[in-house]
Every structure is written in structure tokens, then in C-alpha cells.
């Protein structure tokens, strides 16, 4: 940030001699003399009057002495601020969010303990609600986005992430506000007889397979229709049709023209955080903080 010879110059000025300064700096008087000569040459200014009685600052030297002290203090302040900024940035947890992947559940937990961990800060990073965009996030977890708050048990994402369980969310049914069932506060399976229910293909999401088994064997009156992914396109499709979709409360705000209704059953969806396979220390600290909450 500045010429290090200025520090030697200040020490010489304070000591009044090269020899005394050498004792303070633990280098030879000859080396100090060379540094001062080099500094005077670079500045093209005479800094000291040299005599047998010692060294006395010239008028130019006095000015350089005063301003050099200010410069060094200012430079040190800049470096410290830069280090503080770097440390703060290293403690920022970037949460990826989209309509299908809101962070509201995570924030409910975090708001309980945020005051206890002031060094950890959350930054919301939006991304597009498409399958390619989501896959891109998974491929680059830890780069622009550190973690996602979402359902995490699926066989289509591979082994690109680790998971941290937050809670089990009850599986629900979503439908258009124009659907006859939309006015119901709660559904039972008989209410779904004669309806078409969109559900992920068998084997894609393990927690849905028991639901499918029960519906196929005990409620054949419900027509099941496979979907590859549950994304925003599926919800848009439901708005303009009489079809239903197996959903969860975390998606209740995905579309303003849809309603999400609880069902009298015990099926749930595992919901939590997904993060890189090789997480940095800040993510491990964040997860450790979340663990302190009484789930």
C-alpha cells in the first residue's frame, strides 16, 4: 500500500541516528543508511541534515514525516477494513430461491436463532423455475448458491448434494380455485373418486410410492396420471383443468389461482436443506447453528 522505506524513515527520525534506529529495527546501520538514501533518491528530496551531532529533519523531511504517518495509519485502516469485509463475505450463506423452492420454512427456523449468530448472514439468490436451471444450480452448488430449502428425497438428482432434514410436511392436494373441491377445508380419499390426480412416476420420489400403492389398490376410482417433474408448468396446467396434483403446503403460494388442501392421511414429504458434497466451513457452521433448534 505504501513504500516500506517510509517506516524506516520514521524510525530514523524518531531516533535521531542511523545507529539507534538499527537497534530498534534489528538491521545494520549500513542497511538503514542505504534505505534512506534510496528513499531520498526516489522522492528527489533531501530528508535529513547530517552532522556529527546526529540527524535533523529538513523542512521537506518534516512534511514527509507528518504525512507519512498519516499515510501509514490510513493504509493500515484500509487493509483492516478489507480483511473485515472478506471475513464477512466468507460468512454470508447464499440461499437459492424460486417459486417452487421458497425459503420460508428455513427462515422460520433461522429467525429463532439469528441473534445468537451475528457473524452468519443470509443472502437470497433467485433462480429460474425450470428443470435446466435447477440442474445448473445443483451442478454448481457452493459457487453462486450455497444451499436450497426444498423437498430433497428424489432419485432424479443423483448424488450431487448432501441433505439436512428440517421437518416432514404433510402431503396435500392442489387444484384450481374453480374446481368443486377448492372450497373444502380438508379432504378424504373418497372425495378424490372420479378425479384425475397427477403424481410423480413410480421410483422417482420414494416417499410417494406408498401413496401410489394405496391409491392403486384401495382406491382404483382415482385416476392416476404420471408426471416426470413437479414444476411450475404442472401447476400452470392445473389452473386451466379439472385435474388435481399431489402437492405440499410449501407450494401453497406457487400460483395465485390454485388452492392447496390437506388430506386425512399420514403421508408426508421430507423437507430440508441441500448443500454441496464438500461444503465450506461457513455452511457447516450454519448447519450446526440450525441443529441447536429444538425440532
| Per-residue model confidence as pLDDT tens digits over 91-140 | 899 999 998 999 999 999 999 998 888 888 899 999 998 888 999 999 99
Residue 83 confidence (pLDDT) above 80: no
User: If you write DSSP's letter for every residue of 74-88 in order, what string do you get?
Assistant: HHHHHHHHHHHHHHH
> Which of 54, 68, 51 lies closest to 20 in space, CA to CA?
54
Burial environment of residue 157 by CB neighbours within 10 A (0 to 12, 13 to 18, 19 or more): middle
Element (H, E) at 192: none
Look at the domain 92-289 and name its fold: D-Maltodextrin-Binding Protein; domain 2 (3.40.190)
| CA distance linking residue 66 with residue 68, whole number of Å | 6
Tell me, what's the pLDDT at 86?
63
| Per-residue model confidence as pLDDT tens digits over 230-241 | 888 899 999 989
Q: How confident is the model at residue 188 (pLDDT cuts 50, 70, 90)?
A: very high
Contact 127, 103 (CB under 8 A): no
Mean model confidence pLDDT for the chain: 90
User: If you write DSSP's letter for every residue of 230-257 in order, what string do you get?
Assistant: -SHHHHHHHHTSS-EEEEEGGGTTS-TT
Tell me, what's the pLDDT at 2?
64
User: If you write DSSP's letter for every residue of 109-178 in order, what string do you get?
Assistant: HHTTTGGG-TT-EEEEEE--SSHHHHHHHHHTBTTTB-EEEEE---SSSTTS-EEEEEEEEEEEEEEETT
Look at the domain 5-89 and name its fold: Arc Repressor Mutant, subunit A (1.10.10)
Q: Kindly report whether the global pTM for this prediction surpasses the value 0.85.
A: no
Tell me, what's the pLDDT at 218?
95
| Per-residue model confidence as pLDDT tens digits over 15-62 | 988 888 888 888 998 999 999 999 889 899 999 998 877 899 999 989
| Per-residue model confidence as pLDDT tens digits over 51-77 | 877 899 999 989 999 998 888 888 888
Whether the domain at 5-89 and the domain at 92-289 fall into the same CATH topology: no
Q: How far apart are the first and last CA of the chain?
A: 50
Domain ranges of the chain: 5-89, 92-289
Amino acid at each position: 500500500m505504501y513504500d516500506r522505506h517510509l517506516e524506516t524513515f520514521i524510525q530514523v527520525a524518531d531516533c535521531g541516528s542511523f545507529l539507534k534506529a538499527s537497534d530498534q529495527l534489528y538491521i545494520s546501520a549500513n542497511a538503514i543508511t542505504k534505505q534512506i538514501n534510496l528513499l531520498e533518491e526516489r522522492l528527489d528530496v533531501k530528508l535529513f541534515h547530517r552532522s556529527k551531532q546526529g540527524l535533523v529533519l529538513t523542512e521537506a523531511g518534516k512534511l514527509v514525516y507528518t504525512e507519512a504517518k498519516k499515510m501509514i495509519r490510513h493504509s493500515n485502516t484500509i487493509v483492516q477494513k478489507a480483511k473485515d469485509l472478506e471475513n464477512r463475505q466468507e460468512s454470508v450463506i447464499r440461499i437459492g430461491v424460486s417459486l417452487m423452492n421458497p425459503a420460508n420454512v428455513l427462515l422460520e427456523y433461522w429467525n429463532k436463532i439469528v441473534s445468537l449468530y451475528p457473524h452468519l448472514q443470509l443472502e437470497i439468490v433467485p433462480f429460474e423455475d425450470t428443470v435446466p436451471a435447477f440442474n445448473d444450480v445443483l451442478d454448481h452448488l457452493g459457487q453462486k448458491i450455497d444451499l436450497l430449502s426444498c423437498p430433497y428425497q428424489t432419485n432424479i438428482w443423483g448424488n450431487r448434494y448432501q441433505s439436512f432434514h428440517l421437518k416432514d410436511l404433510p402431503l396435500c392436494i392442489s387444484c384450481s380455485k374453480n374446481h368443486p373441491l377448492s372450497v373444502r377445508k380438508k379432504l378424504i380419499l373418497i372425495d378424490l373418486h372420479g378425479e384425475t390426480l397427477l403424481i410423480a412416476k413410480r421410483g422417482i420420489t420414494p416417499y410417494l410410492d406408498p401413496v401410489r400403492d394405496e391409491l392403486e389398490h384401495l382406491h382404483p376410482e382415482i385416476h392416476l396420471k404420471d408426471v416426470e417433474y413437479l414444476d411450475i408448468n404442472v401447476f400452470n396446467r392445473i389452473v386451466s383443468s379439472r385435474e388435481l396434483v399431489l402437492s405440499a403446503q410449501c407450494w401453497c403460494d406457487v400460483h395465485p389461482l390454485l388452492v392447496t388442501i390437506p388430506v386425512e392421511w399420514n403421508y408426508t414429504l421430507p423437507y430440508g436443506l441441500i448443500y454441496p458434497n464438500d461444503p465450506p466451513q461457513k455452511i457447516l457452521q450454519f448447519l450446526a447453528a440450525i441443529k441447536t433448534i429444538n425440532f
